[in-house]
Chains A and B, each alone.
Chain A
Amino acid sequence: MNESLFTPFITPTVLGLPAAVLVILFPPLLIPTSKHFINNRLIIIQQWLIRLILKQMMTTHNAKGRTWSLMLTSLIIFIASTNLLGLLPYSFTPTTQLSMNLAMAIPLWASTVAMGLRFKAKITLTHLLPQGTPTPLIPMLIIIETVSLFIQPLALAVRLTANITAGHLLMHLIGSSALAMLAINLPLTLITLTILTLLTILETAIALIQAYVFTLLVSLYLHDNS
């Protein structure tokens, strides 16, 4: 049972070579660039989307934080497109691999912390202590705040992995149970199929939301530290 349940999450290989690189490089093919002023429909839709994302994300930052615009916009587009492509049947979603999400989360978080320590060292260190704490609690609270700071990249990565993996797994289970029940009990199958449809809609939403949340949190850490 274990093997057939988790096989969608195995990194694809061809004769031992990791083909996961090809799968990760596929989404940019769907996002063309253009030098013209008036473009075809696909590019117009994507440019509108990118402008919307940019306006939403970067208005709260000061000039220094806005140097991160390219990074954050490409991050949200990458995560959203990868998650949405993973909803297609038989496809491999790179964001289900914890290794990839950690590789995304740790450098981004670490660079926000490094930026804070480099430019506003005193203020960054004072963030470790919330305002108005009673004096005896200070040592314990500093330890707690430091731990919560170091947990931020782990939480970013694990949140994304767990959400996407759990969604895919749930769809697998409900789908295979609907298939198995087709021979036995037809009304129950129909109910299960309705649940599956609703779940698919939820998954689409979650794919987008997770991308948004990931990027939003990175931008939040940036705002704190810039």
Chain B
Amino acid sequence: MASVVPVKDKKLLEVKLGELPSWILMRDFSPSGIFGAFQRGYYRYYNKYINVKKGSISGITMVLACYVLFSYSFSYKHLKTPAGRSWAISEGNSQEGVV
């Protein structure tokens, strides 16, 4: 099924499901392409939430919330409680030293 507009130039929501792999492969993955993608994403968020006449605090709070989730995912491996040592108080352990 040939499309009227070339697949490469379509936005993501307009790409049909069968064309998705070829769309992904045709994106620009060079460093300047990736940088351009980040820049476009940044300005899209900035112009929608911050660069408005009556921007509220939610514009920056969303960024900070994402930052917290991002840091949590980074430190998840360290945060998993090591086996055999939990901070839960159990019945017979009140004598054990913490250190």
Binding site for B on A (CB under 8 A): 1, 3-4, 7-8, 10, 12, 14, 19, 23, 26, 29-30, 32, 40-42, 85, 88-92, 176, 179-180, 183-184
User: Majority SS of interface residues in chain B?
Assistant: helix
Give the shortest distance, in Å, between A63 (CB) and chain B (any CB). Answer: 37
Lowest 9 A-B CB distances belong to which pairs?
A90-B71, A90-B72, A7-B78, A91-B71, A12-B74, A41-B55, A40-B51, A40-B55, A88-B68
**Would B59 and A26 count as touching, CB distance under 8 A?**
no
In the assembled complex, B60 has its CB within 8 A of some CB on chain A: yes
A41 surroundings in chain B (CB, below 8 A): 54-55
Chain B residue at minimum C-beta to C-beta distance from A179: B87
**Would B42 and A42 count as touching, CB distance under 8 A?**
no
Interchain CB contact (< 8 A) of A7 among B51, B67, B79, B99: B79
**Given A1-B99, A42-B60, A91-B71 in contact, is the A183-B55 Cβ separation under 8 Å?**
no
Interchain CB contact (< 8 A) of A91 among B59, B63, B67, B78: B67
- Chain B interface bracket (under 10, 10 to 19, 20 to 34, 35 or more): 20 to 34
In the assembled complex, B3 has its CB within 8 A of some CB on chain A: no
B51 surroundings in chain A (CB, below 8 A): 32, 40
- Interface residue ranges of B33-58 to A (CB < 8 Å): 42, 46, 50-55
**Would B55 and A42 count as touching, CB distance under 8 A?**
yes
Chain B residue at minimum C-beta to C-beta distance from A44: B55
In the assembled complex, B75 has its CB within 8 A of some CB on chain A: yes
Give the shortest distance, in Å, between B84 (CB) and chain A (any CB). Answer: 13
In the assembled complex, B17 has its CB within 8 A of some CB on chain A: no
**Would A180 and B46 count as touching, CB distance under 8 A?**
no
In the assembled complex, B89 has its CB within 8 A of some CB on chain A: yes
**Would B71 and A32 count as touching, CB distance under 8 A?**
no
Could you tell me the distance between the alpha carbons of A7 and B52 in the complex, rounded to whole angstroms?
A: 40
Known interface pairs A42-B55, A88-B64; 6 further A-B residue pairs with C-beta atoms within 8 A, sorted by A's residue number: A3-B82, A26-B67, A30-B63, A32-B46, A90-B71, A91-B71
Interchain CB contact (< 8 A) of B75 among A7, A32, A176, A184: A7
**Would A40 and B78 count as touching, CB distance under 8 A?**
no
Chain B, residues 67-95, CB within 8 Å of chain A (1/0): the string is 11001101100110010000101000000
Interchain CB contact (< 8 A) of B98 among A1, A10, A26: A1
**Would B74 and A14 count as touching, CB distance under 8 A?**
yes
**Given A3-B82, A180-B89 in contact, is the A92-B55 Cβ separation under 8 Å?**
no
A12 surroundings in chain B (CB, below 8 A): 71, 74-75
**Would A29 and B98 count as touching, CB distance under 8 A?**
no
**Would B68 and A90 count as touching, CB distance under 8 A?**
yes
**Would B87 and A180 count as touching, CB distance under 8 A?**
yes
Of the candidates B51, B52, B71, B78, the one having the most CB atoms from chain A within 10 angstroms of its own CB is B71
Give the shortest distance, in Å, between B52 (CB) and chain A (any CB). Answer: 6
14 intermolecular pairs with C-beta atoms under 8 Å apart = A7-B75, A7-B79, A8-B75, A14-B74, A23-B71, A41-B54, A41-B55, A42-B50, A85-B67, A89-B68, A89-B71, A176-B87, A180-B89, A183-B89
